[in-house]
Amino acid sequence: MELSVLNIKGEDTGRKVTLNDAIFGIEPNDHAIYLDVKQYLANQRQGTHKSKERSEVSGSTRKLIRQKGGGGARRGDINSPVLVGGGRVFGPKPRDYEFKLNKKVKSLARKSALAYKAKNNAIVVVEDFTLEAPKTKEFITIAKNLKVAKGKLLLVLSEKNNFVYLSARNLEKANVITASELNTYKVLDAVNLVLTESSVAVIEKLFNA
């Protein structure tokens, strides 16, 4: 698959980039995508949720009513789960949500995500660029020139560029990452995938390693 390389003004530079069919042209595997996205979202969870159980609630352990003769059910102390302010039965406890996923499955999932973008013609290749200073307005202008301003945008750079990153940081629908940080969730979450010319080679190297 060949794509024209555009400059930041949205003009065709006359150069073309060939996307590797072994990455961008495979048949997407939906189950691998599901597993990779599930792992990514699970890893975002802090797992610090906690509620107090009966033994942890502060309160008197005195028996509230006598065992028999009251006409009702037996009742223990004021920390009982059936009373307002009592402990919770089987409440959540801190836990780690992370789980293992094989490298080949993760690689397949990311290739599948890129293949979906290629199938939907949602990939734009722009020549390498930098900004002289962090300018959000300038980043918005570039996005409009590339016709990717509508919907979520994911810009993939070959290496870190703080000026470009800071220019997009305040934009709710824009995300800037490096090729080594590429993940299935962010690719699928974006409407348009913008690759810099040099990042295409880095992506091919990463997936063919």
**C-alpha 178, offset from chain centre:** 14
Of the chain, the percentage scoring pLDDT greater than 70 comes to 100
Instruction: Report the pLDDT value the prediction gives residue 209, as an integer from 0 to 100.
Output: 52
> If we measure between CA atoms, which residue out of 113, 135, 104 comes closest to residue 23?
113
- Whether the per-residue pLDDT at 158 is higher than 60: the answer is yes
- Whether the per-residue pLDDT at 43 is higher than 90: the answer is yes
Tens digit of pLDDT for each residue in 115-157?
A: 999 999 999 999 999 888 999 999 999 999 999 888 899 999 9
Assigned superfamily of 2-45+99-208: Ribosomal protein L4/L1 (3.40.1370.10)
Sign of the CA dihedral running 4, 8, 11, 15 = negative
Contact 153, 34 (CB under 8 A): no
- The residue whose two tokens read 């305040």 is 170
Average pLDDT, the chain: 92
**Per-residue confidence band for 47, with pLDDT thresholds at 50, 70 and 90:** very high
Instruction: Report the pLDDT value the prediction gives residue 10, as an integer from 0 to 100.
Output: 84
Token representation of residue 111: 């290739």
Q: What stretch of H or E contains 56? A: none
Lowest-confidence region among 1-5, 85-89, 91-95, 154-158: 1-5
Domain ranges for the chain, please list them: 2-45+99-208, 49-96
Question: Pick the residue with more confidence: 1 or 191?
Answer: 191
In angstroms, rounded to a whole number, what is the distance separating the alpha carbons of residues 131 and 147? Answer: 19
Contact 187, 110 (CB under 8 A): yes
**Per-residue confidence band for 98, with pLDDT thresholds at 50, 70 and 90:** very high
* Average pLDDT over every residue of 166-172: 92
Instruction: Report the pLDDT value the prediction gives residue 1, as an integer from 0 to 100.
Output: 81
Burial 112-144 (b: 16+ CB within 10 A, else e): bbbbbbbeeebbbbbeeeebeebeeebbeebbe
What's the pTM?
Answer: 0.82
